[in-house]
Amino acid sequence: MARVNTAGIGAVCVTLLSTTAAFADVTPEQVWDAWQKGYEAYGYEVLAGSTDRQGDTLNVSDVKLVNEMDDSSFTMTIPKIMLRDRGDGTVEATMAEKMTGEATADLPEEDPMQMDMVMTQTGTSVVVSGSPKDMIYDITSPNMTIEMDQKIGTDGETVPVKVWASIKDTTGRYEMKQGDSHDVASQIKSALVKFTASGADPESSGTFNMTGQIADVAYSGNFILPNGVAMEKLDQALNAGMNLDFKASYGAGSYEITADSKDGPVQMKSSSQSGSFDVKMAKDGMHYAGTGTKATLEMTSQKLPFPVSAAMDELDADFTIPVSALGDTQPYKAKIALKGLTLSDNVWSLFDPQSKLPRDPASLVIDLSGNATVTSDLFSPETANMSVPPMKVDSANVDALQLTVAGADLRGNGAVEFDNAGPTPKPIGTLDFTLKGANALMDNLVAAGLVPQDQIMFGRMMLGLYAKPTGDDEMQSQVEFKDGGEILVNGQRVQ
């Protein structure tokens, strides 16, 4: 199956963000100067064919934005930029209707990638106000389209991928401050984003097509980059004070994928009601959180005897990890929650045709937190060559643990600290667990013919040894990790 190179897409995203965010001053010449400095702060070289002041408008022609790294490059060409003095202390910025981009990447152990991009915008208006040190601009863009044609591999064996996206009714505001750092605050929203993708794999003769859309996309963010700091050297940028805080939300969305391969056609449809994500990055840690509601998935394939479908009420993910060696323990968090998972009856009937197992929605929650010590900056070149991450876990809290499926419900919580003095970390602490519906589940597994009776008897014996009854088909266990390596379960020593 063909794939889209993430390095190329990342370069495009940064470029598009900067394209709308670069204009901010009160005269055309100041706007152009700020535009150049803004791109240079992101690691781009700005080349202009000519600049020409005609009346109240500064025309800049044949602009090239070039970003080159060790194994990749990106160049964007803007035929013309027009900066018009409106006579009231503000500047209107407009650009050529079509802009083009080219990206290449030849990373070690990766197939070479080449991508061509065309961005078309109509009716976009950017009105810049403020002062040279505090620039504000308001953006209105009725429609913007992006076309990307990507090839992965060498001549004769390339994997072509085409991507198209349309962004409707975009409005928002950026504020850029210049001082000891490049400081950008933004609030943008778009009514509708549509996208398509298609590709082919010459080796397998497989093809795929994807279409989709997302409504009510909105984001806000703050980005601080100290002057003179190269953003591509992330460890140095973070230690110098780089700070990113980005939030986004979206409404109803859907997509459909159809693929043909030697194994036959495959079709997949998915939809969701809403979602959000939150990204933060600074010297004291990196944070990612995401949510999604009312997701559905439908799939048909020649390998499946019938169409299958699944649904999920809620997805909640939350991760925080320390990234800098600060010489002291730092907090971390890892949470994943999948709630209200359901499968269509025809999927259940594959292994439980007599409906012996309850088909209630399932849930999985793993919520951990604690402290860890980072011994080397995670984004440093030295860390990139390490076989294991330079991090020691000092403590772990089980804030929530839940597995609810087929009528049974397992939950847990607790906390442990780790003694890292020896070659193997030793936990010290207590974990508590409750289990409901286990006996009924085992009975149903036997009735459905999924597990033999003798294996169920072994499971009941293990529960009898390590779990205490607390009610009707309810049990609990306490696991204690003692200093010196001793482990107790409900007071019984198991190690």
Q: What string of DSSP letters covers 182-230?
A: EEEEEEEEEEEEEEEEEEEETTTTEEEEEEEEEEEEEEEEEEEEETT--
Residue 17 clears pLDDT 50, i.e. is over it: no
pLDDT at position 1: 37
Percent of the chain with pLDDT over 70: 93
Average pLDDT value for residue range 75-81: 94
What integer pLDDT is reported at residue 229 of this predicted model?
85
Looking at per-residue pLDDT, the higher value among 34 and 192 belongs to 192
Going by C-alpha positions, the residue among 138, 227, 127 that lies closest to residue 177 is 227
Q: How confident is the model at residue 263 (pLDDT cuts 50, 70, 90)?
A: confident
Q: What distance in Å separates the CA atoms of residue 405 and residue 232, rounded to the nearest whole number? A: 46
Is pLDDT of 493 > 90? no
Q: How far is 441 from 408, CA to CA, in rounded Å?
A: 6
Residue type, 11: A
Residue 463 reports pLDDT greater than 90: no
Give the residue from 401, 471, 419 showing the smallest Cα distance to 440: 471
Residue 156, pLDDT score: 55
User: pLDDT, tens digit, for every residue of 441-459?
Assistant: 999 999 999 999 988 988 8
| 339-356 tens-digit pLDDT | 999 999 999 998 899 999
pLDDT of residue 400 exceeding 80? yes
If pLDDT is split at 50, 70 and 90, which confidence band does 147 have?
very high
pTM of the model: 0.84
Give the pLDDT score at 70: 77
